[in-house]
A = this chain, B = another copy of it.
Amino acid sequence: MARRKRRNVTRSAAKRGMPPGSLVFTGERKIEQAQLTVFDYDGETLQEIPSESLQGCLARRDTQTVTWINVDGVHDAALVERIGSGFGVHALVLEDILSTQQRPKFEDYDEHLFLVVQMLSWGESSMAIEAEQVSFVLGDRFLLTFQERGGDVFDSVRERLRASKGRLRKSGPDYLLYTLLDSIVDSYFTILEKIDDRIETLDEQLTTTQTANTESLRQIHGFKRETIFLRRAVWPLREVLTSLSRTETPLVEQETRLFLRDVQDHALQALDTIETFRELLAGMLDVYISTLNNRLNEVIKVLTIFATILGTLTFIAGVYGMNFDHMPELRWRWGYPAALLFMLAVVLFMLREFKRRRWF
């Protein structure tokens, strides 16, 4: 089953018991070949090298231009380590980049800042949210990003780098970091909208047509799971962004902090929405259960009406089926039709009674 893929226990087994600092990849390999992309730019020039040699990368470390190195596929531990040591990244950071089921977090290592966030996407086949870890290392004039596989979320940023010579090109790597974080958080809303549409549809179904089958229950339960999962990814992100915009480091400029506060606002909005989902789903479960109860009431009313009417008729028939020698009615000429008419009268009377009590 597709759902089983995403584990609630995110600290991977492979890693445990190993010495801290061991650079071993501990996730699921998601693409075949790790891919290196380098952007090197300032306000004037832009160099873009899809797959530069590692040596070339490291040479760019000390240039005055902004260097953005993106690695798709962190399963290549050797590659990650060489880039890391080339840029002077702390061993713990490299370890965290390689263990792909981290909680979103932020660490300030003075020389560089380290961020882990979750990139989320809706898996149409698995009908569930899929998560991918993205790590950021922000240093002086460079930004390293590490993804488990390539995604299209960063593509729009690449387009903007290529297209304009605007603020993005003129600013440092901190603004680039902001831009990437912003596009990740924005992508959350695509998922939220997908879920929102489905929840609304389900809610409408439940409240208007009163069709409460076990499928509805399965769906409510499923959305709850997704909501729990989402909250687990977004909740720590809030703290991460707060820490990032408040940390006292020269690596993030004052102006960029203003923008980071904006991403923070969006993360908060995402959390608000998730919270709203939770409450809506709880309400829908209440509606579901009440609808079940209501239906039970209806069914039992039908049973009672039938049982009562049929029981009475059967009893009357039973009386005239008795074998007493002296039952004058049995001898009457119109006894039989009279009995039938009497039964009919009883039925009509009882129906009226039930109607009066609003049983149907």
Contacts and interface: CB of A to CB of B under 8 A. Distances in A.
A79 B207 CA distance: 44
A56 interface: no
A10 B269 contact: yes
A130 B297 CA distance: 37
Nearest to A303: B304
A312 B305 CA distance: 13
A7 interface: yes
User: What does DSSP make chain A's interface, helix, strand, loop or mixed?
Assistant: helix
A31 interface: no
B225 A280 contact: yes
Interface stretch (A41-49, A62-70, A143-151, A210-218): A210-218
A92 B258 contact: yes
A336 B331 contact: no
A102 interface: yes
A186 interface: yes
Contacts of A182: 20
Interface in A153-203: 156, 160, 164, 166-168, 178-179, 182-183, 186-187, 189-190, 192-193, 196, 199-200
B207 A221 contact: yes
Interface stretch (A132-140, A244-252, A319-327): A319-327
Nearest to A217: B290
Contacts of A314: 310-311, 314-315, 318
A349 interface: no
Contacts of A292: 290, 293-294, 297
Given A9-B273, A11-B266, A16 B187 contact: yes
Interface residues on A, range: 35 or more
Given A103-B272, A204-B1, A327 B336 contact: yes
Contacts of A179: 19-20
Nearest to A179: B20
Contacts of A359: 299
Given A279-B228, A307-B307, A321 B330 contact: no
Contact of A321 (B207, B322, B334): B322
Nearest to A178: B20
Interface centre among A11, A261, A277 (most CB of B within 10 A): A11
Nearest to A166: B19
Copies of this chain present in the complex amount to 5
Interface string A336-352: 10011000000000000
Contact of A288 (B178, B290, B321, B333): B290
A111 interface: no
Contact of A217 (B9, B199, B287): B287
A293 to B, nearest CB: 5
Nearest to A19: B160
A301 B308 CA distance: 12
A273 B103 CA distance: 11
A258 B92 CA distance: 8
A204 to B, nearest CB: 7
A324 B297 contact: no
5 closest A-B pairs by beta carbon, nearest first, are A317-B318, A310-B311, A320-B322, A16-B186, A303-B304
Given A90-B258, A306-B311, A317-B321, 15 more contacts: A7-B193, A8-B276, A10-B272, A11-B270, A13-B193, A19-B166, A19-B168, A109-B258, A207-B217, A207-B221, A207-B222, A296-B296, A310-B311, A323-B330, A326-B334
